[in-house]
Amino acid sequence: MTALSIEPIGIIHSPYKEKFAVPRQPGLVADGCGELRLLPPYNQAEAVRGLEQFSHIWVLFIFHQTQNGGWHPTVRPPRLGGNARVGVFATRSTFRPNPIGMSLIELKGIRQQGSEIVLELGSLDLVDGTPVVDIKPYLPFVENIPDARAGFAQDIPLADMPVNFTIEAEQRLLQEVRNHPNLRRFITQVLAQDPRPAYRKGEQQSREFAVHLSEFNVRWRVENGQTDVIAIDKR
């Protein structure tokens, strides 16, 4: 079979400006919402006619930040602590033979903005700028299977890392409360997932991390099993 050519139909806009700290599944961070802006020639109202009747959509996308990293027949899923290897096709690893991912995301609305068609999305797990190659409506009668088995990912991942804010970070939250009233909850829910690489989660020594979330550079320290947000700087 000859190679296939696939082109993006739209681009994701999300508060996650880098791969680090993106939730591992949609729906885990309530305020981590975004948009899908359709590209020409697909930005036509006719192309999404009737889609507003569906509450959720499957978004098929390209792992554009890791697509040049190649693939391996086995990978180390974070849910297994980053130590055990399983087959790549038994995971949702970004390092795949074809760098295609999929996410089930709430569709909050559709709006026409000038010549643009914008899909307003709920909580997502996609980095800003992700190219989307297809959209399909979610069909509960066939895709909701309560008794399905999910191997090592049967249960929702824990989000139990305690998150505290230093006095300086609290002051920044107060300064931003008018424009970003849910900023504390957003940062807390992202960091409670403990976005550190799996191999670092057993470390005892204090270590600082930083990530670009929305329009802020957030810095935090992990020490003694808890996270302390030490700075929230406007970018």
- Counted domains in the chain: 2
Domain range enclosing 193: 163-234
Question: Residue 1 pLDDT more than 70?
Answer: no
Asked whether residue 131 falls in the same domain as residue 30, the answer is yes
Integer angstrom CA distances of residue 59 from 53, 89, 102, 103, 144 = 16, 19, 5, 5, 17
Q: Which tens digits make up the pLDDT trace of 29-67?
A: 999 999 999 999 999 999 999 999 999 999 999 999 888
Q: Which tens digits make up the pLDDT trace of 61-89?
A: 999 988 888 898 998 887 787 778 999 99
DSSP at 119: E
Residue range 131-135: mean pLDDT, rounded: 98
- Start-to-end Cα distance in the chain: 47
Q: Which two tokens stand for residue 234?
A: 């406007």
Asked whether residue 224 falls in the same domain as residue 191, the answer is yes
Residue 149 lies in a domain: no
Asked whether residue 115 falls in the same domain as residue 16, the answer is yes
CATH for 222: 3.30.2310
223 in helix, strand or coil? strand
Give the pTM.
0.89
Given a contact cutoff of 8 angstroms between Cβ atoms, the answer to whether 74 and 89 are in contact is: no
CATH for 55: 2.40.30.70
* Nearest-10 crossing angle of helices 183-192, 167-176: 130
Task: Please list the residues that pair with 223 across neighbouring strands.
Answer: 226
